[in-house]
Homo-oligomer: A and B are copies of this chain.
């Protein structure tokens, strides 16, 4: 394979962005030999620790994107890893829009753009002849969007249900073992699983954003996280979970969407009691899984049996390779 040179701008450079940069380095030999891809980070932009492009300071993410756009590399890719804003998905969506407008491909691990504006961003990317990829938005690097796009041609997704938030799944598992909600949450925070502000997780917002992303991309919906009927988990959920266990059943925070016969879509996130033999019931701790209802393959599932920062960073890498494959000149 002739070498394809990719220049990257990292918008957001926290844990995920830094792990991605190291992963690119660790995988440089196999990227070159396996996919003919050679990557170089030419700009980084952070909210609190400054921005730089071509080795010089710059004003903000948008200047970093402009700098990338002036590169003459074979591929120009904006890698967006800022944190989720659950009100409107900004400024991540603005970063994606700016990248597309500048003729750059976009890869993001942020759920915001795809949960709030998939439809318009996808259309803009198609019109500009660039790719907009977001594998990391759901289940880290375990393929969900790429699974459907690359390996399930002609298959129509008619619904889904999944356990897609690791923090609440951890907390539920701990509460089943007798811990109080507060203790379980504190343990997750001490272990670095839960954020300092865990409300996005425990109120179900993170799962709702993933539900919107999945419904928008896989089922052609045009919803936002605010359209998802949402119930989070509380101390009371723990009590229900312990009670369910005495009957051999489990409570999981299930994200789901389904199309009614009239074509309307209902999407929800809620604690749901499941029989022990349900695939989702068996997912402990950081395990996640997504069951897809389809026309040609009936029900299939993809599962992430444990999670880590490397897996989130890998999502960006897999999207990058996917872009390189489809834009090889």
Contact = CB atoms under 8 A, between A and B. Distances in A.
A300 B297 contact: no
Nearest to A156: B30
Interface string A267-292: 00000000011110110100001010
Copies of this chain per assembly: 2
Contacts of A143: 147, 151-152
A32 to B, nearest CB: 11
Contact of A151 (B35, B147, B304, B305): B147
A141 B297 contact: yes
A163 interface: no
Interface in A281-329: 281-282, 284, 289, 291, 296-306, 308, 310-311, 314, 317-318, 321-322
Nearest to A302: B302
A190 to B, nearest CB: 22
Contacts of A317: 153-154
B278 A318 contact: no
Nearest to A326: B325
B282 A279 contact: yes
Given A34-B153, A317-B153, A298 B305 contact: yes
Given A153-B318, A296-B310, 12 more contacts: A30-B154, A34-B153, A142-B297, A143-B147, A143-B151, A150-B151, A152-B318, A279-B282, A300-B302, A300-B304, A301-B305, A302-B302
